[in-house]
Chains A and B, each alone.
Chain A
Amino acid sequence: MLSEYLPIAVLATLAVLFGVASLGVSALLRPNRPTRAKLAPYECGIEPARLPAGERFPVKFYVVAMLFIIFDIETIFLFPWAVGFRQLGLFGLAEMAVFIALVFVAYVYVWKSGGLDWREPAPRRAAAAPPTALEPEAREVVRAG
């Protein structure tokens, strides 16, 4: 039973060997002339900026990341459907339409409640429901949005 895993072990060994070998060979052969730009970390071509310590990101990045995952997962389901499109036929098309519509609900909800609005948000919720006289214990309110 373990022999079934042999190709995986071989592949893993080869991958490690290839990585170590290419790094080692290039360290031996390459000319060593570092510049500032060469040593900078690569960030998709954007000039990297070091953030001051204690810098905070807007929590909105989090919402965008969540939305990204939703669409990411949608794509995972779309690929096998595209591959089996002919066999799945009309039934598959209808199923996918229902699935995409349901995913779209999440998108519409985020959009309508201002999750994609990048400007400083108008505190709509807070205006709709002003915190009335709370108990002393309840006054330790954290800003969560």
Chain B
Amino acid sequence: MLAQFLIHPPIQLGPIGPELVLTGTAIVVLLGAAFNPRIGHSTLLLVSLLGLAGAALVSIGLWDWGGELTVLAGMVATDRFAVVARLILLGIAAMGLVYGYHYFRRSGEARAEFYPLVLFATAGMTLIAAAADLILVFLALEILSLSLYVLTGISARLSSVEGSMKYFLLGAFSSAFFLYGVAMAYGATGSTRLSAIAHALAGQTGSLGLALAAVAFLGIGFGFKVAAVPFHMWTPDVYQGAPTPVTAFMAAGTKVAAFAALIRVLETSFQPLTLDWTPLVWTIAAVTVVAGSLIAIAQTDIKRMLAYSSIAHAGFVLIALTAAGQDGISAALFYLLAYALMVLGAFGVVMLVSARGEGRTSLASYAGLYRRSRLLAGLLTLFLLSLAGIPPTAGFIAKVNVFRAAVAAGHWPLVLVGVLASVVAAFFYIRVMVLMYMQEPQDDAEPDRSPWPRVAVAVPAVLTLLFGVFPGIVLGVLDKAAILRW
């Protein structure tokens, strides 16, 4: 029986097609640059973007997958949730690559390794969105984390290397927590497969304590990755130290990927324990939105301010998770999509205002930006409005959906906390707008005036407005994707 299985293993590689395309492209780009060091970076960018497009096409092909629910010995899920999460992640990676190509060429730190590293990280992110086994979740988490540690330190600046080191140490620490949680889940249920864990937990109560400990430890591991309070300490230093395009890619990508995995783990394997983990998520969500919004007020650097704002946004996604089921998942997916767009856009503008490399990231250097560049000031205003959740932007619809789902699940006190935190958060977003429009420039530093990066930043701006005014065009797709099949 065993021998037969080994000779004819039922292998279906289709559902990991996007990851195969991504890693294949990454290897081609890596070796291409190693064999021909004089190769133009525009060629590397083009090949990488083609790889992302190929992976996106393969993902779309999986939308109507008619085969089994999980393939490769139950490791990989084939549902539409994975497809949508992958498409969002591939879009984020494309923006990150375009930003990075421009940024590193201007700062004179261009390295060919940037492109394969982003592709490898993306492969980890898309894989984690489809992982149906805790071991594969861990593997994908490491693929994306290890690539991101290197990307954070890819610039030779001291702060970049420092951020990389901090990220690595705390990331390794959180991975250990996660792995310990996997071991406990195995101890409690005898399997690491999400569906098997759910069946075991639904049937027995003997090792409930161990299962709850597993939820807690896995929660800590995910808490680090999504930067939820109190596991957020690394975020501001890493976001500030990393080169701005890497920050944009990491802030958007890691959050979407880690939340996709967290949603799948909580809503499938630990679904029988929903009543037990909901108070946990409830508390972390409340603490995260409040702490993120309050600490952001005290920041004087825009990258640190956006880092704390991203912590607060992790809290809003957690609010969606307290509403278990399709409504919560759909609201969380839309929130992640909107968050990815506005954070990519905001960091894109930060990159252009810095003009070359890092520097000019203090809030004071945004004084009078309107006089220097109306376009950049306008774009940043749009993204900040969306981050604050003010109509007619995608951020507003996202917050409304999240709050609606949470209220429907009966968590109105949490929604109250969320609304109050949004009011606090609006203060520091609007402060930047006041600086840009109502104050005189302090120096005559010019922002980056290259045309193509501006076009790139305009893409998330257009989508933020589009999804803010006509959310229906994606909500239908997201609703269909919000059913986890396992």
Contacts and interface: CB of A to CB of B under 8 A. Distances in A.
Query: Do these two chains really belong together in a complex?
Result: yes
B203 interface: no
Given A129-B109, A132-B108, A142-B158, A113 B34 contact: yes
A136 B159 CA distance: 13
Interface string A121-145: 0001100111111111110111110
Contact of A87 (B3, B106, B358): B3
Interface in A90-145: 91-92, 102, 105, 108-109, 112-113, 124-125, 128-138, 140-144
Contact of A135 (B38, B111, B358): B358
B110 interface: yes
B39 to A, nearest CB: 10
A137 B107 CA distance: 13
Contact of A138 (B9, B38, B110, B359): B359
Given A105-B27, A140-B158, A91 B111 contact: no
B356 A132 contact: yes
A125 B31 CA distance: 16
Contact of B357 (A102, A108, A109, A135): A135
Nearest to B361: A137
B30 interface: yes
Given A134-B107, A138-B357, A109 B7 contact: no
A63 B30 CA distance: 17
Contacts of B34: 108-109, 112-113
Nearest to A92: B6
B359 A105 contact: no
Given A135-B359, A138-B157, A141-B157, A89 B7 contact: yes
Nearest to A145: B156
A112 B113 CA distance: 13
A134 B357 contact: yes
Contacts of B359: 135-138
17 contacts: A87-B3, A88-B6, A91-B6, A92-B6, A113-B34, A113-B37, A135-B358, A135-B360, A136-B359, A137-B358, A137-B359, A138-B107, A140-B157, A141-B156, A142-B158, A142-B161, A144-B153
Contact of A128 (B27, B38, B159, B161): B38
B37 A128 contact: yes
A133 to B, nearest CB: 8
Lowest 8 CB-CB distances: which A-B pairs, in order? A135-B359, A112-B34, A132-B108, A140-B158, A131-B108, A141-B156, A129-B110, A109-B34
A84 to B, nearest CB: 7
Contacts of A109: 30-31, 34
A131 B109 contact: yes
B356 A135 contact: yes
A14 B82 CA distance: 53
Contacts of B153: 144
A102 B120 CA distance: 14
Given A91-B9, A138-B357, A105 B30 contact: yes
Interface string B329-371: 0000000000000000000000000001111100000000000
A129 B113 CA distance: 14
Interface in B35-49: 35, 37-38
Contacts of A133: 356
Contacts of A112: 31, 34-35
A102 B123 CA distance: 15
Interface string B9-36: 1000000000000000001001100110
B27 to A, nearest CB: 5
Contacts of B360: 135
Interface string A69-91: 00000000000000010011101
Contacts of A91: 6-7, 9
Nearest to B2: A87
Contacts of B106: 132
Contacts of B111: 125, 129
Given A141-B156, A141-B157, A84 B35 contact: no
Contact of B161 (A102, A105, A144): A144
B455 to A, nearest CB: 24
A84 B161 CA distance: 45
Nearest to A137: B359
B160 to A, nearest CB: 9
Contacts of B357: 134-135, 138
A130 B108 contact: yes
B107 A87 contact: no
Contacts of A132: 106-108, 356
A112 B161 CA distance: 25
Interface string B73-115: 0000000000000000000000000000000001111110000
B156 A105 contact: no
Contacts of B358: 135, 137-138
A129 B155 CA distance: 12
B157 A87 contact: no
A137 B156 CA distance: 12
A135 to B, nearest CB: 3
